[in-house]
Structure 1
Amino acid sequence: MNSLSLRRIPVARPSLGEAEAAAARRAILSGWITQGPEVAAFEEEFAAYVGAAHACAVSSCTTALHLALHALDVGPGDEVITVSHTFIATANAIRYCGARPVFVDIDPRTYNIDPTQIEAAITPRTRAIVPVHQIGLPCDMSPLLEIAGRHQLPVVEDAACAIGSELLVDRTWERIGRPQGTVACFSFHPRKILTTGDGGMLTTSDPNLDRKFRLLRQHGMSIPDTARHEAKSVVFENYPVVGFNYRMTDIQAAIGRVQLARFPEMLDRRIALAAKYTRALRGIPGLVSPFIPVNTCPNYQSYAVQVTNAFPIQRDVLMQTLLEHGVSTRRGIMNIHQEPAYAEEPHQPLPRSERARDGVILLPLYDAMTEDEQAYVIGVLEDLALDNNSREVQ
């Protein structure tokens, strides 16, 4: 091994630079720093990128999910079908509405919701379905939408990780967020490819839902700040509904606009790095690269590797050994039903979700990753795959 072993290779790193700093400075010096012209421009540009009719910026993907469900009248006593195998925010947003998340198991190859399990989970209390495009790999939406249509259920896509991912629909590639379902919700957290520090976006084809989102994100205020600012006569707002403080700042949006302009090159780099990992893993027994269905084009928000019994050391030992060599990893996606906050939530058996959590690692992947850094990660994995008695990792 080389001198790279002396430094830490993170699992992810946000791609921010002078252009983003200049954009934030511009917003700060403009005097308008909360939900103003930068937010409006970011919404327009984001909608154009994903091919959506409407885009509404908010403070996080969690608030986006909550707004979507709330606007669809999900409330106390209702049920929402989703997966346990995802970040806890998905279930939390359902709980915020007073509803109960109903967990179904995943496809063991994609780690996404298994559409064949949805119908059996539908009850008279079911009000929505929330599929998660896990770590940027699009779900199998066609059978899911067919089931939702027959039962007249809205579909809220948790697309937190999926900006730039594409799905083949009627022989045409469409970006996640068009959306396929009723609403799609995105995250701009620092772990995501496009970041605004934090923040989120809802996209929809329904103008009435978009109007609801815009009303609810700002305390239910009938007149937005921009309209009051531009008014030629005195106007007074009113509050027809109970809303929330879920606004995005103009500082965040200004950064997001720069990130969106740079996004194609960041995405291309990420896909190239993922391809290199995939080629390397073909020569490492016991490590299985991500399964990519032919009708999907993921953004590789994360690179998930299955650690099988053919690998000479167990998954957790592998993670610790990599860390000792300066390589950060993460476990497979968490399972909400295995966390204390949801331990008492009744659910059907979820064996595939549990195997995925305990048998997968996420390797370092970020668009600024150098060839030397990636070669080092691959080299450590190759050494560990050899008989531990034959030689020691340098």
Structure 2
Amino acid sequence: MSEKIQYIPIAQPWLGEAEAEAARRAILSGWVTQGPEVAAFEQEFATYVGANYACAVANCTTALHLALLAVGVKPEDEVITVSHSFIATANSIRYCGAIPVFVDIEPQTYNINPVLIEDAISERTRAIVLVHQMGMPCDLKSILEIAHCYELPVIEDAACAIASEILWDGQWEKIGKPHGDIACFSFHPRKVITTGDGGMITTNNPQWDEQFRLWRQHGMSVPDTLRHGAKQVIFESYPMLGYNYRMTDIQAAVGREQLKRLPEIVERRRYLAQRYHHQLADIPGLKLPTEPAWAKSNWQSYCVRLPESCDRQRVMQVMLDAGISTRRGIMCAHREPAYEVESWLCGSDLTESEQAQDHAMILPLFHQMTEQEQDCVVEVLKTVC
């Protein structure tokens, strides 16, 4: 084995002096909650993805919640989505009092299987929430054809998919444009760029964007920036039930610097993913992630399916003993204790979702990862498999 590596994390955010200085700038400005840095971050993010509007919020879960409210999801409505996702996807539907209807995934991409959606639609279906799982774009064209036929809004859970791309009418376009109705992003440290935590909602609908901005700040009729800068006394009102879903200016200042790093981060992740493809291709029975010809992933995660003969827990333990951190495949919400009591429906058999959770494993991948570290991961995985 090559020179011993002390520890290889599953992920590591790329933060430096630029982000520290940005946070310092916001702190010393005296305006640390939602303010001018948030407004600038929103504009820069909208420009980057090609959306008309971007609204910053506290995290992606709150983004999904507001997106569902905006398209009119109410208690006892049904929302088609996948169980094979972080539990926040299903939870955001339950926050509205609605019922998630789970359909299965494609085993190659770990994304919702469009073929199964139509059979899951009922009279109570109000929306489709698709997940660009681990940064791999969904088959948006197939999904949107079904959604348009039934006049259903499409919300993209793009938590992992900042800078991922899809081939659209002959042009490569970024996830978040949006191609559906609303797209929701996460800036958790596990994602490609981070603000510590935080989220963003993109849309081309001005009414929805206006609604997001009211809801995220308690339904307040006058934003803080306007009230504090006014030359006359202004009394705000609260015409609707709102939420405290704001992003701070400290976070946004960091996000603006992270956005500058994004092209370099994604270029590096794509390079490392190709190295994994090449070096792991000869392990018998190991299934590597598939990138369709019409998609470009940001490779937020690199997920492999272990040979059936492998005991995943043993493989993960051997790798951890060698100083290499891994994670199990994406969870299935319907298998969690919370959903033994929460309402949900099954829109299809969920065999592929369960198989992916049981046999998939996520390998380390992050911008600062060296080739030596990656070679170490490959060497140990080959040995244990």
Task: Please tell me the residue identity of whatever aligns with 1:92.
Answer: N
2:130 is paired with a residue whose SS is coil
Deviation at 1:349, TM superposition (A): 2.5
Match of 2:260 in 1: 261
**Map of 1:314 onto structure 2:** 311
Deviation at 1:2, TM superposition (A): 4.0
Q: CA deviation at 1:3?
A: 4.3
Q: 1:287-326 residue pairs with structure 2 within 5 A?
A: 287-309=286-308, 313-326=310-323
- The alignment partner of 1:4 has SS state of coil
Displacement of 1:150: 1.1
Deviating 4+ runs (over 3 angstroms)? none
Instruction: Write the distance in 2 (CA, Å) between the matches of 1:29 and 1:193.
Output: 27
How do 1:14-25 and structure 2 match up within 5 A? 14-25=13-24
Counting aligned pairs with the same residue, the percent is 62
**Alignment deviations for residues 209-240 of structure 1 (CA, whole Å, 9 cap, x no partner):** 00000010000001101111221211111111
- The aligned amino acid for 1:31 is G
Question: 1:342 maps to what in 2?
Answer: 339
RMSD: 1.0
C-alpha contact 2:167 2:295 (8 A) present in aligned 1 = yes
Q: Which residue of 2 aligns with 1:376?
A: 376
Q: Which 10-residue stretch deviates more, 9-18 or 282-291? A: 282-291
Matched ranges for 1:21-32 at <5 A: 21-32=20-31
Shift of 1:31: 0.3
| SS of 1:223 mapped into structure 2 | coil
Distance 1:259 1:85 in 2: 28
Secondary structure of 2:267's counterpart equals helix
1: CA distance between counterparts of 2:335 and 2:144?
Answer: 28
What residue in structure 2 maps to residue 281 of structure 1? 280
**Bigger mean CA offset, 277-286 vs 245-254:** 277-286
Q: Which residue of 1 aligns with 2:50?
A: 51
What secondary structure is seen at the aligned counterpart in 2 of 1:260? helix
Deviation, structure 1 residue 250: 0.1
5 Å matches for 1:1-394?
A: 1-5=1-5, 7-309=6-308, 313-344=310-341, 345-347=344-346, 348-385=348-385
TM-score after normalising by structure 2: 0.97
Question: Quick one: distance in 2 between partners of 1:251 and 1:91?
Answer: 29
TM-score by length of 1: 0.95
How big is the shift at 1:303? 0.1
In the alignment, the residues of structure 1 paired with residue 115 and residue 345 of structure 2 have an alpha-carbon distance, to the nearest angstrom, of 20
Question: More displaced, 41-50 or 284-293?
Answer: 284-293
Deviation at 1:72, TM superposition (A): 1.7
Provide the rounded CA distance (Å) in 1 between the counterparts of 2:255 and 2:284. 41
CA contact (8 A) 2:191 2:300 kept: yes
Question: CA separation in 1, counterparts of 2:325 and 2:340?
Answer: 29
- The superposition leaves residues 17-52 of structure 1 with CA deviations (integer Å, 9 ceiling, x where unpaired) of 111011000000000001100000000000000000
CA–CA distance in structure 2, aligned partners of residues 308 and 115 of structure 1:
27
Once the two structures are superposed, residues 342-387 of structure 1 have per-residue CA deviations (whole angstroms, 9 ceiling, x without a partner) of: 13544243001001111110000000011111111111122224xx
- In 1, Cα distance between equivalents of 2:35 and 2:136: 33
Amino acid in the other structure paired with 2:328: R
Q: Deviations over 1:292-313 (max 9, x none)?
A: 100000000000111123xx63
Cα deviation code 1:301-337 (max 9, x no counterpart) = 000111123xx63222211111111111001100000
In 2, the alpha carbon distance for the partners of 1:104 and 1:261 equals 37
Matches of 1:201 and 1:164, distance apart in 2: 13
Q: Secondary structure at the match of 2:225?
A: helix
Residue type of the alignment partner of 1:28: I
Shift of 1:70: 1.1
**Whole-angstrom CA distance in 1 between matches of 2:4 and 2:50:** 42
Asked whether the 8 Å contact 2:100–2:345 carries over to 1, the reply is no
Does the aligned pair in 2 maintain the 1:43–1:57 contact within 8 Å? Answer: yes
**Cα distance per residue 1:77-122 (max 9 Å; x no partner):** 1110000000000010000001010000011111100111111111
| Amino acid in the other structure paired with 2:36 | P
* Counterpart Cα distance in 1 of 2:345 and 2:298: 34
- Tell me which amino acid in the other structure corresponds to 1:331: R
CA-to-aligned-CA distance 1:238-257 (integer Å, 9 cap, x gap): 11110000000000000000
Question: What per-residue deviation string (whole Å, max 9, x for no partner) do you get for residues 249-286 of structure 1?
Answer: 00000000000001111111111111100000112222
Number of corresponding residues: 382
User: Matched residue of 1:102: which SS?
Assistant: strand
Q: Distance in 2 between matches of 1:366 and 1:4?
A: 19
Q: Distance in 2 between matches of 1:269 and 1:141?
A: 26
Q: Is the 8 A contact 2:99 2:345 kept in 1?
A: no
Q: Is the 8 A contact 1:136 1:301 kept in 2?
A: yes
Deviates most, 282-291 or 263-272: 282-291
Query: Alignment partner of 1:138: what SS?
Result: coil
Q: Counterpart amino acid of 2:28?
A: L
The DSSP-based 3-state class of the residue aligned with 1:108 is coil
Q: Tell me the distance in 2 between the aligned counterparts of 1:343 and 1:329.
A: 28
Residue type at the aligned position of 1:176: I
Once residues 152 and 335 of structure 1 are traced to their aligned partners in structure 2, the CA distance between those partners, rounded to angstroms, is: 28
Instruction: Supply the distance in 1 between the matched residues of 2:302 and 2:188 (Cα, whole angstroms).
Output: 17
Report the CA distance between 1:15 and its aligned residue. Answer: 0.9
